[in-house]
Each structure stands twice: as structure tokens, then as C-alpha cells.
Amino acid sequence: MTERVLLKEVRPYGEGEPVDVLVEDGMIARVGASIDVDADEIVHADGAIALPGFVDLHTHLREPGREDAETIESGSVAAALGGFTSVFAMANTDPVADNAVVVEHVWRRGREVGLVDVHPVGAVTVGLKGEKLAEMGTMAKSSAGVRVFSDDGLCVHDPLLMRRALEYTGALGGVLAQHAEDPRLTVDAQAHEGPNAARLGLTGWPAPAEESIVARDCLLAGHTGGSLHVCHVSTRGTADILRWWKSGEDRGGTVSAEVTPHHLLLTDELLETYDPVNKVNPPLRTDADAQALRQALADGTVDCVATDHAPHAAQDKCCEWSAARPGMLGLQTALGVVASTMVVPGLLDWRGVARVMSENPARIANLGDQGRPIAEGEPANLVLVDPEHRWTVRGEELASIAANTPFEGMELPGRVLTTMLRGRITAHEGKARQ
């Protein structure tokens, strides 16, 4: 039976006069003015902006192992409400997603929930220990079809192991997402190394610990012909390295990078509060770093936005700074922060938002049905956004089990009205549809 949804008066990419979009059986059937047909559901968008559904390359769903912080179901609800149609679940679960059994569990559970496409990320090394490559081929051939591999939270710091991992990932047609952190330079690190950390007595996490690994890995990607994706870029120096790499010709390999919403907006001045909700890895940097990251995202040096959504149970955050786990919620606030830091100041228009939150991450992960144009014959993975709506973040109102948002009480612009996955509405007016 054909299922029809008619979206009335939407503005694709925020451009031009409002049009109607007819969705049939998961595909965009027609785009035009005043479409008049019988439909199972009509959504009156009143000029809302239509964008391709967002794709998050960096999500922590905590299941299996820490269901007290997040589950695949609660994280999927948060993702749908945030406008996402596809998320990549990081491998640092318990047990670690370093084998076919675990990645297939995550993949199947995501399909059962059905609100977003949940793609498990496979670990690069066994147990995230950085000693021996994990069963990457087995995970790639499993039902989950893993193509993104990462030890996120930990760096593949051994250069020879990193070289082999890039070679192996390339042979699998995948991408290696690196958490760039030289562990020798960040022993006991608690915050960005600078005047603020020094004054507060916190051990510093120096910028070169990230930058030196990124430079090394770019060279290894070129040497091996592999695909490197740099996770959560946090420093001006890393942006400069990426800009240098991308300006060259015939370097070999492929290098892409992401930035988190919190690194675009927040800075190490928040250390003054000693509030562990602001503790994250890599740490919040300086205002100069944040400004450089915004520019790098605008000019394409950094390819995309990824949330690094990292829910934590209250006991892991409501404690002294040194004992708190690093990480912040991000799925439901990502659009608002990107709108605040990039759209409002004119660094990106809404087509640019589609590029960095949907098209580029889909391309990096080689997702054929995501990040597609809003046009007839394309998959109906869509999000409708009210750009004028300003809303105040309340942690207890977010869908995640955890509530560790650094944006508590902050007013953000832009709100997701409707999310659609393959023609089915998964979130509408602040409620998920399961």
C-alpha cells in the first residue's frame, strides 16, 4: 500500500518561495507549487526550511554496557528530535565493539528501534588497547557492514600500527577515524594547557599533542593511500595542518575532518566554574581556536560537524573535576549551536548547513541514501527547521537518559520541527514517533 505524506509550504535549503513536497513510499515523488493530492498525512510547514536529514559520524550510544547513561533507543530518540536520520555509534562500549558479535548487536538494535539508521563503528584495535588490530575484516563482512573504524577516546598512537590500520581500512573500502592525542604529552591532562588551567592548578592538555598526531597521520594516509578522518578537531594549529594538506596536489590518500558544536562555541574560560559538565576530550580551547575552527568549517578545511554526543550517568559527572568523565550531550543541541555560531554571523547559509551536517558526513562514510538533494526521485530523508524559533536548553527535557549538557539555560536559534526517515516521520513537534 502506497504511503503518502505531503509537506506543505517548505523552503528547500531556505531558498526561494515555499513549495510543496510529496513523499510516496520513502521517496520524493514531486516538488512543486500547490500540490493537491490525497495523502495519509499533511504537514503544514508554513515556510519552514527543508534540509537533507543530518548525519552524525560521532555518537556515543553507550549500549552495550552503560545503559544507565544511554541506550540505543534513547539515543535514537534524541537523534530524531535533533534532526538526524543517521548516526555512527562509537566502539568504546562494554564489551568493546571490536568483533562481529557486538557490532551486529548494535546494528540490529538500531533497526528494531527504527528512528534513525544506527551504524556501528568498529574498533581499530582489540579492546581499544592499541596493541593489535581488531577483526576489522570480519566486522566489515558482518550484517552490520562496518566501514568506519575508530578507537575514539583513545589514539592509535603507534605509527606502525596506524600505518597497517590505514592499509587494512583502505582495502575494506572504509575510513579510519582517529582521536588525535599523543598520550605521552597528555599524561594526567585535565584541561587545555594555558593560563586558565595553570591558574586553577589543572594539568594541561597541550595543543601539539593533537597537532603532531594529525600531521603524522596525514603523511601516513598519503603514503598508504588510505582514508583518514580526524575526529573532533580542537585547535587552530590542526586547522592549519589540514589546510596545508588539502592545498597540495597528488599527496595521495584522503583526509577529512570534523568539528564538534561545543568546540565551535565554548572556550576554556568556562574552567572558572570548575563545573565538570564542561570537561571534554579534547578539551575546550581558547577563543582564538574557536574562531579558527569556525573559519575552517566555513571554508571547507574542516568538512563536517559531528556531535561527539557523550552521555554520562550523574555519578560520573556530579563529582570533582579530576574524577569526572569527559563528554557532553550534543544530538539535540547541534543544530542550534551551528545556527548560532555559523548561520547567525553569516559564515554559512542553510545550504552550507546541509553541506556540513548532512552531505559531507554522508560522503565520508559512503552512505548512498543520505545527504541527497531535495529533488524528485531522491530518498525522503529530510528535516524541517524553523530558523526563527529560539528555545532554551533544559537538560531534564532532553531525550537522553543523561542530562550532562553544557548548554543548560542557553537560548539557541533554530529548532527541528519534523524529521523524516525514508518517508516516515520519526519526530514531529518535539515528540518522537516509534
Q: What is the DSSP string of 211-236?
A: HHHHHHHHHHHHHHT-EEEE-S---H
Residue list for the binding site for Zn(2+)? 58, 60, 152, 179, 232, 308
Q: Is the Cβ–Cβ distance between 45 and 7 less than 8 Å? A: yes
Backbone angles phi, psi at 196, to 5 degrees: -65, -45
Q: Is the Cβ–Cβ distance between 190 and 321 less than 8 Å? A: yes
Residue list for the binding site? 58, 60-62, 92, 152, 179, 232, 281, 308, 312, 326-327
| Rounded-to-integer distance, Cα 119 and Cα 361, Å | 13
339 strand-pairing partners: none
Burial class of residue 134 (count of CB atoms within 10 Å of its CB; 0-12, 13-18, 19+): buried
| Rounded-to-integer distance, Cα 417 and Cα 80, Å | 10
Buried b (16+ CB within 10 A) or exposed e, 321-346: beebbbbbbbbbbbbbbbbbbbbeee
Cα–chain center distance at 287: 22
Query: Residues, the chain, total?
Result: 434
Cα–chain center distance at 327: 13
Judge whether 188 counts as a catalytic residue. no
Secondary-structure breakdown of the chain: helix, strand, coil percentages, each rounded to the nearest 5:
35, 25, 40
Residue list for the binding site for substrate? 60-62, 92, 281, 312, 326-327
- Of 151, 308, 316, 386, catalytic: 308
Going 342 to 241 to 186 to 161, the CA torsion angle's sign is: positive
Q: What is the DSSP string of 365-423?
A: TT-TTSS--SSTTSB--EEEEEEEEEEE--GGGSSSS----TTTT-EEEEEEEEEEETT
432 strand-pairing partners: 427
Nearest Cα to 300, choosing from 366, 249, 222, 239?
239
- Per DSSP, helices labelled H in 132-276 are 136-141, 159-171, 195-200, 207-224, 236-247, 261-265
> What residues act catalytically?
308
